[in-house]
Amino acid sequence: MLKLAFCKQPDLKQWFVRNEVNLFRYRFNKMSSKGKIRFFELSKFNLESIEKGEITGELEANLNDCSNITTASAKTWYRIPWTQVGRLVTRRSIFIDEGKAYVPEEDLIEFVVGKFRSECNRWLAGLAKKFDVMMENEQERLVPILKSFGNTIADADFSSTEGRLTINSIETMRKTSLPPCIRQLLDALQVDNKLKHDGRVHLWAFFKAAGMPLEDALKFTFTRMTAYANPEKEFKYNVRHVYGKEGGGKGVGAYGCSTKIKALPVEGQYQGCPFKHQRNLKQQLRNWGVKEVDIDKIKKKADDGHYQVACNQFFKSTHKDKEEKLDLITILHPNNFFDQSFDWNTGEHKLLKAEDTAKSEAMETSTYEPAWETTLPMSQAEKESQSQKEFEQDDFMEE
Amino acid sequence: MVSSNLVFASDEIAVSEEVLSSYYKEYFPLDPFIEWLGYRNDETLSRREFSFTLKDDVYTRFRSFTSKEELHQAFIKTKPEKIDIGAIYNYSCKHRLSPDFKEEQRELVFDIDISDYDDVRTCCQEARICQKCWPLMSICVKVLEETLKTAFGFEQILFVFSGRRGIHCWVFDEEARKLNGAERFALAHYCQVTAQQIGTSHRLHTHIQNALKITDLYWDEYLETQDLLGTEEGIDSFLKYVKLDDSIKNEWKEQMLKYDTTMERWSIFQQKRKEAQSKKYRDRLFIERIKIAVTYPRIDIKVTEGFNHLLKAPFSVHPKTGKVCVPFNADDVDSFDCDNVPTVFSLRKNDEELVKVIEKQEGDMSKKYYHGEMKESVKIFTDLLNQVFSE
């Protein structure tokens, strides 16, 4: 049923596959080693194992340098094409030679999970193809049910009202209402007068969703990205493209927390989530004027991997009044941070306006139910622009 | 046309349509180029994406051609300032809006720009590149070649000067062309080592060890010519990669400031490294971390990751320098002189001489690109193609 509901939309599909894979991984890990051996026998993977005698000298040194498992403790090593253990290659935690990865038995789970993931994707791709035909006679019965599944997972759209952010207000907003990930980009832009491609797109997409008019976004780009010889010529098209005025016309949706957390910014890139990627988070927070007591709290959350909780703490620390109500705020998206902050500072936030009854508070908390353990679903706009990443990449496989 | 020699900035030259047109007509190695893009099959060729950048930065994506003649006509008619090559799709690009239109094959590609190294070079900034910072590109070529060949087992690798500020690398192997998105993602991340990934005392991955061996071939000379530790900021930029308390780092810094030259200051790092080995300091890999931070190839990961990412075609002309994007031999990368590559202007200048040479030639060999300035790079390209087709 879920397979049917999710097979048509890439991000729902991705969510489904991720959870199926997690479940599979959990089950596999629960199996006894006997069970695993039986599983391998039944699955007929025909893995090429390496003779113990072969593992000496240079090869032994290489295996020890590259794997998390030492040759002394590993049971058996297998030689597998590197393409079948993508995760291990991405993490650079195996030795690869001549296209073959040397995988210790302990890491074989990655190979099995990889197989399972591509199987999952294949089922879904197959279903998606047949979907329209299957649903022909189900317009009244199944289709509404399927639609309702989709809605509970991804219903968020975080666009603000047009004109909420403008070129004139951005400098004030920067200190009061812009989310840390965007402030980080603006800080870098101020120092370098330039941003790398990803950073620029993240910024423009945020502007668009924050309601900044196109003219303002263009003006901002031309006057602030001055390290380029001719920003007008170089970026006019790109900004217009983000705003949906060039190309396909859809434009780029604002990037959400999950994208930013998953991003892998390299030296000189700032498009990530500061709570995950900022190496000197404490100093950064100090520069942004966060109180010393709060800095430790935020840092702790960030260190524990609760990046969005850390962002919430940041919001709490940088906003005033009605602390008991600030506690109820949950940030779902960079643009959601901006909106809530804007509303809060203008006294328009629904938590401020709501009657002080237990009922309304209960309602607010339930609408903003946090989902820290899983990554948050992406907004509607984001879905359209989400670049193909890890899980989704399996879509290319054997469809 | 006078405008063809008009100089905009120190290294920017306007390439006129007329000059471009004559380059495409006479010097562009169309035969081997087409042979490559369709892998000797016109049907495959018709599914390959071309993108032209026309006058005034007009991009036109998803062009496709069914034959050599058609491409030749398009070159002459539209005189593209820039030619990009995309993937081979399952259908001709005319059907790109079809729901199951998708990538089928694509060379594995790498793109490295020298402008990403501005923090570790003092000779030039931005798009400028010179013999003093070229060693960074040499390291890239050698690290990539070593990784692609020994680890991933690829053999058909082409390195191309990108015409202005960097290099491109194309892997033609069939296995490489057929990698899917997830596999490209994995490979790209395997090839992206950052300083943060170097811990304080663990064993280094073979790939990192190999990269460091290559770096060591250039390190001392690079450090000295760039004078990277010549200033206090320079020292700070290195100390940033040392994972020790500030008090210790300040102590080191004071010791370094007693000396004047980069090499003397670097020897303090080396001395500290020896002391670290005897467990005096917790961080025992700072030398390695610094070397990785400064010299490890800074690949544009999006290009390698993407199945359908466009990359400038070999032998196209850089619109701002007039330089031809020539392939070069990885073994000769150290002596590659990016200021001495064929340009549309130099080709024109030497045209008369070349005409005399080809008058004596027959058949294919009467093509201008097999002689003169283009000869060497075209040979590197055709040799690689022969290797591809001999399998």
Q: Average pLDDT, stretch B4-22?
A: 66
3-state secondary structure of A85: helix
Contacts of B150 in chain A (CB under 8 A): 97-98
> pLDDT tens across B336-348, in order?
999 999 999 999 8
Q: Average pLDDT, stretch A282-297?
A: 87
What pLDDT does A388 receive? 35
The residue of B121, B125, B152 whose CB has the most chain A CBs within 10 angstroms, and thus the best one to mutate to test that interface, is: B152
Contacts of A229 in chain B (CB under 8 A): 9
Exposure b/e, B143-173, CB count within 10 A at least 16 = b: bbbbbbebbbbbebbbbbbbbbbbbbbbbbb
Catalytic residue among B35, B49, B107, B283: B49
Please judge whether B153 and A100 are an interchain contact, meaning their C-beta atoms are less than 8 angstroms apart. yes
Please judge whether A229 and B9 are an interchain contact, meaning their C-beta atoms are less than 8 angstroms apart. yes
Lowest mean pLDDT among A79-88, A366-375, B111-120, B243-252: A366-375
> pLDDT tens across B234-265, in order?
999 999 999 999 999 999 999 999 999 999 99
The one-letter amino acid code at A180 reads P
Q: According to CATH, where is 3.90.920.10 located in chain B?
A: 2-133+155-190+301-389
pLDDT higher than 50, residue B98: yes
For A278, nearest residue in chain B (alpha carbons): B196
- How many residues are recorded in chain A? 399
Query: Which residue in the set A65, A82, A393 is minimally distant from B180, CB to CB?
Result: A393
Query: Which residue in the set A62, A198, A393 is minimally distant from B181, CB to CB?
Result: A393
Which B positions 95-134 lie with beta carbon below 8 A of chain A?
102-103, 116, 119
Q: Which residue has the tokens 């990784």?
A: B147
> pLDDT tens across B292-333, in order?
999 999 999 999 999 989 999 999 999 888 999 999 999 999
Distances (CA, A) of B306 to A393, B103, B110, B184, B302: 10, 10, 10, 7, 6
φ, ψ of residue B165 to 5 degrees: the values are -125, 20
Q: Are B310 and B84 in contact (CB under 8 A)?
A: yes
Q: Is B390 on the interface with A (CB under 8 A)?
A: no
Distances (CA, A) of B157 to A179, B5, B149, B386, B387: 44, 35, 9, 13, 10
> pLDDT tens across B25-65, in order?
999 999 999 999 999 999 999 999 999 998 888 888 899 99
Segment B257-264 long-range contacts (CB within 8 Å, at least 24 positions apart): B257/B232, B261/B230, B262/B223, B262/B224, B262/B227, B262/B228, B262/B229, B262/B230, B262/B234, B263/B220, B263/B223, B263/B224
CATH of the domain at A27: 1.20.930.80
Q: Tell me how far apart the alpha carbons of residues B297 and B281 are, in angstroms, rounded to a whole number.
A: 28
Lowest mean pLDDT among A81-85, A378-382, B13-17: A378-382
> pLDDT tens across B132-168, in order?
999 999 999 999 999 999 999 999 999 999 998 899 9
In a domain, A34, yes or no: yes
A interface residues, B as partner, C-beta within 8 Å: 62, 64-66, 82-83, 86-87, 89-92, 95-100, 197-198, 229, 233, 237, 264, 266-268, 279, 388-390, 392-397
* Terminal Cα distance for chain B, rounded: 47
Please judge whether A98 and B150 are an interchain contact, meaning their C-beta atoms are less than 8 angstroms apart. yes
Query: Which residue in the set B182, B205, B209 is minimally distant from A86, CB to CB?
Result: B182
In a domain, A86, yes or no: yes
Side-chain half-sphere exposure of A269, counting CA atoms within 13 A: 22
Is-catalytic flag, B111? yes
Top pLDDT among B10 and A389 is at B10
Is-catalytic flag, B246? no
Query: Residue A35 — pLDDT band, cuts 50, 70, 90?
Result: confident
In a domain, A246, yes or no: no
A333, two tokens: 């998206």
In a domain, A79, yes or no: yes
A302, two tokens: 């960030």
What pLDDT does A357 receive? 43
What CATH number has the domain spanning B2-133+155-190+301-389?
Answer: 3.90.920.10
What pLDDT does A6 receive? 63
Contacts of B299 in chain A (CB under 8 A): none
What pLDDT does A397 receive? 35
pLDDT higher than 50, residue A307: yes
What pLDDT does A243 receive? 86
**Residue B369 backbone class (left: φ over 0; alpha: ψ -120 to 50; beta: rest):** alpha
What pLDDT does A23 receive? 86
Q: Is B11 on the interface with A (CB under 8 A)?
A: no
In a domain, A76, yes or no: yes
Dihedral, A347, A352, A353, A358 alpha carbons, nearest 10: 180
Distances (CA, A) of A29 to A33, A87, A110, A118, B86: 9, 17, 11, 19, 42
Q: Is B5 on the interface with A (CB under 8 A)?
A: no
For A97, nearest residue in chain B (alpha carbons): B151
Q: Average pLDDT, stretch B196-206?
A: 88
Contacts of A392 in chain B (CB under 8 A): 181
> pLDDT tens across A125-147, in order?
787 777 777 777 766 777 666 66
Please judge whether A64 and B153 are an interchain contact, meaning their C-beta atoms are less than 8 angstroms apart. no
What pLDDT does A234 receive? 82
Top pLDDT among A385 and B256 is at B256
The residue of A267, A271, A386, A392 whose CB has the most chain B CBs within 10 angstroms, and thus the best one to mutate to test that interface, is: A267
In a domain, A269, yes or no: no
* Full domain range(s) for residue A5: 1-155
pLDDT higher than 70, residue A12: no
ipTM of the complex: 0.88
Query: A339 vs chain B: nearest CA distance in angstroms?
Result: 31
Query: Which residue in the set A62, A95, A393 is minimally distant from B182, CB to CB?
Result: A393
Is-catalytic flag, B113? yes
B162, two tokens: 């990108």
Structural element, H or E, at residue A108: helix A108-135
**Within 10 Å of residue B308's Cβ, how many Cβ atoms?**
13
The one-letter amino acid code at A37 reads I
Q: Are B142 and B148 in contact (CB under 8 A)?
A: no
3-state secondary structure of A398: coil
What pLDDT does B161 receive? 96
Residues forming a β-bridge with A97: A100
In a domain, A308, yes or no: no
Q: Tell me how far apart the alpha carbons of residues A217 and A243 are, in angstroms, rounded to a whole number.
A: 9
> pLDDT tens across A176-208, in order?
889 999 999 999 898 888 888 888 989 898 998
Q: Tell me how far apart the alpha carbons of residues A40 and A76 are, in angstroms, rounded to a whole number.
A: 14
Q: Count of domains in chain A?
A: 1
Q: Which residue has the tokens 């062009």?
A: B63
Please judge whether B153 and A229 are an interchain contact, meaning their C-beta atoms are less than 8 angstroms apart. no
Distances (CA, A) of A286 to A180, A289, B244: 12, 5, 22
For B292, nearest residue in chain A (alpha carbons): A267
Catalytic residue among B84, B107, B111, B288: B111
Please judge whether A86 and B186 are an interchain contact, meaning their C-beta atoms are less than 8 angstroms apart. yes
| Nearest partner of B29 among B332, B384, B331, judged by Cα | B384
> pLDDT tens across A138-172, in order?
667 776 666 665 544 343 456 777 788 888 888 88
- The residues, any chain, with a CB within 8 Å of residue B101's CB and separated by 6 or more, are B89, B90, B91, B95
In a domain, A61, yes or no: yes
Q: Tell me how far apart the alpha carbons of residues B241 and B246 are, in angstroms, rounded to a whole number.
A: 12
